[in-house]
Amino acid sequence: MSEICKYPIILVHGLFGWGDDEGLNDRLPYWGANTCNIKQHYTEQGYKIFAASVGPVSSAWDRACELYARIVGGPVDYGKVHSENAQHRRFGRYYNEPLVEKWDKDHKVHLVGHSFGGNTVRMLAHLLTYGDPDEVAANPDDCSELFKGGHEDLIGSIVTICAPHNGTTLFKAVDRFKILPLMKVVVYNYMGLMGRSPAEGTIFDFHLEQYGMSDTPGQRDAFPLRRARKMYAKNKDNAEYDFMPHGAKQMNDYIEISPNTYYFSYSYNAVSINFNGRHHIPWDTDFKFLAFTSSFILIYNHFFRPPGDYTFNDYANDGLVDLPSAMFPKDEPYKYYDEKDIRPGVWNVMKTRQGDHGTPIGLFAPVEETFELYDSMFEMLRGIEKRFESPAKELPAAEEEPKPAKKAPVKKTAAKKAPAKKAQPKTVEKAEKAAEKAEKAVKAVKSAKAAPAKKKKAPEKAE
């Protein structure tokens, strides 16, 4: 690579993940897993790259609020309205130092989210662009800047890797086979006990002080375990609900794509079709456990999926996320990646790669393949930066239009009307000249009828 990215790159982990703020990351980096250290590798090349820490089991909304506070510094504000609806604390921890030195329209950031980190960065982009009117209306004098919107120029690009944009049938499967309730009991008790231990904040961090499941760093303010566990369990404001297809649909109904941001999605597939073309079987995955979960998804989709269930027709998956879910959100515009036609405000869907859910972060994956992915990704992001540096050199749009989103067409129509307003003075001038010629023609040839028609058309063009 001849050049490196000028904008900082912020990596956002997925479900049960961790970042730089956890001591575990020094022993086992999330980005690189057991084979390499992605952040260290590219930092040594001169990149400004960060591995942010957010709640490993929190909702996309809560994680977006935490990510925002981590980038700019200051308190985590989950929003007055949201916190009241979720029945948890409004404020979380306080960050003394911002993650990046400067963040404005001239100093953008690239956000790269793996798994649920992809949903997190999408939510952050939406709130920065459109804000949340309910939060502003409920608390106009003390509202976080995040909820005010109007900051659509802060993010240069969003890259999602194996993200469950439309949820995953794996969670439907474990719920169908009555495994989910047992998992909840184990996980909730584990989080509650470990969130009060010395390991919380030193080795790992659940970021669940809003629920009282863990202590706020530097304080002893966790709720009694039984109360905190019950409070968290009865709530939909968590990753479990957002992973469900119906929860993901609700989130997608809320999120809108940001028109000035470039979106890219990477998907992986660990499933193949056997010789008769009918039965899907898991490949030899890098992480063997994901062959089991992949089979779980296939069994559910083949034999137990209810008619009309909000799920996916394609049984391909990466062991955790269905392939159609990882490619793009169902209700947002998309097009398949073309290096000669990269557009903002639309999902540029990359070619599906072979591997499982852990392959792109280096989990039991060949080191060369891991770095090849990020080499090509960061080179592409550098090309995006050049577009912001020289907007006039944008490549022309392709003939094929992307599939429209629920609200995107409104924005596109408005954008197309703008040039017509700029051309208005020239149109009026032409209309006046046409009227003068018409008037002369009437005097010269009284039988001419074309002139009045031109007089009627001129005001229409002028409008």
Dist CA 459 CA 359 (whole Å): 62
Please tell me the number of Cα atoms within 13 Å of 167 on its side-chain side.
Answer: 22
Dist CA 106 CA 265 (whole Å): 24
Phi, psi of 285 (to 5 degrees): -70, 155
Mean pLDDT for all residues in the chain: 85
Nearest to 166 by CA among 315, 325, 357, 309: 325
Q: How is residue 288 written in tokens?
A: 């063997």
In terms of pTM, does the model score above 0.85? no
**How confident is the model over 187-204, as pLDDT tens digits?**
989 999 999 998 998 899
CA–chain centroid gap for 183, Å, is: 27
Please tell me the predicted confidence (pLDDT) of residue 184. Answer: 87
Please tell me the predicted confidence (pLDDT) of residue 314. Answer: 76
Q: Which helix (H) or strand (E) holds 159?
A: strand 155-161
Q: Could you tell me if 441 and 434 are in contact, meaning their C-beta atoms sit under 8 angstroms apart?
A: no
- Say whether 331 is catalytic: no
The sign of the CA dihedral 396, 399, 405, 407 is: positive
- Say whether 21 is catalytic: no
Choosing from 58, 59, 115, 214, the catalytic residue is 115
Choosing from 114, 207, 280, 357, the catalytic residue is 357
Helix (H, G, I), strand (E, B) or coil at 233: helix
Please tell me the number of Cα atoms within 13 Å of 450 on its side-chain side.
Answer: 6
Alpha helix stretches (DSSP H) within 390-423: 408-422
Helix (H, G, I), strand (E, B) or coil at 356: coil
Would you say residue 279 has pLDDT above 70? no
Nearest to 16 by CA among 266, 180, 245, 187: 187
Please tell me the predicted confidence (pLDDT) of residue 2. Answer: 57
Q: Where are the strands (E) in 1-116, listed by range?
A: 9-12, 49-52, 74-77, 91-95, 109-114
**How confident is the model over 310-353, as pLDDT tens digits?**
567 778 999 999 999 999 999 999 999 999 999 999 999 999 99
Helix (H, G, I), strand (E, B) or coil at 101: coil
Query: How far is it between the farthest Cα atoms of the chain?
Result: 99
Choosing from 205, 318, 331, 356, the catalytic residue is 318
Task: Give 101: exposed, middle or buried? Use CB within 10 Å, 0-12, 13-18, 19+.
Answer: exposed
The one-letter amino acid code at 160 reads T
CA dihedral 254, 257, 261, 264 (to 10 degrees): 100
- Say whether 253 is catalytic: no
**How confident is the model over 236-255, as pLDDT tens digits?**
999 999 999 999 999 999 99
Q: Could you tell me if 60 and 119 are in contact, meaning their C-beta atoms sit under 8 angstroms apart?
A: yes
**How confident is the model over 124-183, as pLDDT tens digits?**
999 999 999 999 999 999 999 999 999 999 999 999 999 999 999 998 888 888 888 888
